[in-house]
Chain A
């Protein structure tokens, strides 16, 4: 959304773009079936209609939605590189620490330990329930403006200096290699367009529907070598007080995932940090932020660099 708006402005097509995603539930009408949403959510992003490839080749074999897909990727990672469940849990724990400095977060006021994550219900091995986002009602809007309008704006602008987007497949069934996600080419393009290098980044706001998403994103975006993501997580403090601030608003794991607007929380947190409006979790220095977004089962992903 954001880079489309920025490119349209740079092309001279418009001067200020509203990007908006409403994700609170609408009121039910008298004829509406309240169970509709639960039915729609049951298979995640998979299409169940006659003729859909997933309906023929994924669903009958137990690949029912997001949970099983991400668990399959995590299992593949375990087979190739080994799996460190405590390090995966640390992603959720460090982000929960960040959420304690964000009164807007759904898990504000509820601390979390690695032991609690590992003792939580196993949903799809190796993913525990506390490594999976909690769906919430919400919504978000962002305004992207041209340089001509910046003098009329109140806050420090967060310039869109790098972007990338990559779509390879819908179901990971068709991935060439599940462990090399579209975040890779998207991030490479974003860094190339911005001219920044990985070491220039002051905070990373990484789409975190699951802990495995963060692990693979850190590797494929080039912050950690392939297969060494868990080591990177253990070696770094990922909180707003740490040496690699990650998802400083709590991430969607602790802030909440408001449907399609969930990824916008990462964009808004990057802007909040750049503008110096993050309150108790404000980073001392944040001029360059890296943001990723994910759709499907690691199937359509984007990256942004904001400065």
Chain B
């Protein structure tokens, strides 16, 4: 029921907040890849270390369903890994 506390946050990436009118526009798949790359560099891990994905389901531009599968496909995670784990999380960030 509880948590052992073994797992840890080891890296992150965050776009600088900008006004919508002047912020760069990017496809959501592009942002996923860009943020993933930045977070990996911050952590010191390699892309091949990643074998799980948690991503927002709604409000995703390029798909209204099968969002995790599409993002995993774009990141080529599915080609590398056998045990990809996917959850769709909604508004709740932590």
Decide whether A and B are members of one complex.
Answer: yes
Contacts of B20 in A (CB 8 A): 25, 135-137
A189 to chain B, nearest CB (A): 9
Contacts of B27 in A (CB 8 A): 26-27
Contacts of A25 in B (CB 8 A): 20, 23, 25-26
A10 with B8, Cβ < 8 A, contacts A18-B52, A139-B15, A268-B14 known: no
- Selected from A157, A207, A263, A265, the residue in CB contact (under 8 A) with B10 is A157
- Selected from A8, A139, A259, the residue in CB contact (under 8 A) with B85 is A8
CB distance B18 to A106 under 8 Å?
yes
Give 6 new A-B contacts, CB below 8 A, not counting A1-B93, A139-B14, A266-B93: A2-B94, A20-B55, A24-B15, A104-B14, A147-B6, A159-B8
* A-B pair number, CB within 8 angstroms: 280
Please name the residue on chain B nearest to A255 by beta carbon: B17
Q: How many residues of B contact A (CB 8 A)?
A: 63
Contacts of A13 in B (CB 8 A): 52, 83, 85
Contacts of B89 in A (CB 8 A): 1, 4
Q: Which of A75-83, A115-123, A227-235, A296-304 contacts B (4 or more CB under 8 A)?
A: A296-304
B35, B53, B93 — most chain A CB neighbours (10 Å):
B93
Q: List A83-107 residues whose CB lies under 8 Å from chain B.
A: 104-106
Q: Give B residues with C-beta under 8 Å from A.
A: 1-20, 23-32, 35-36, 38-40, 42-45, 49-56, 59-62, 71, 75, 83-85, 87, 89-94
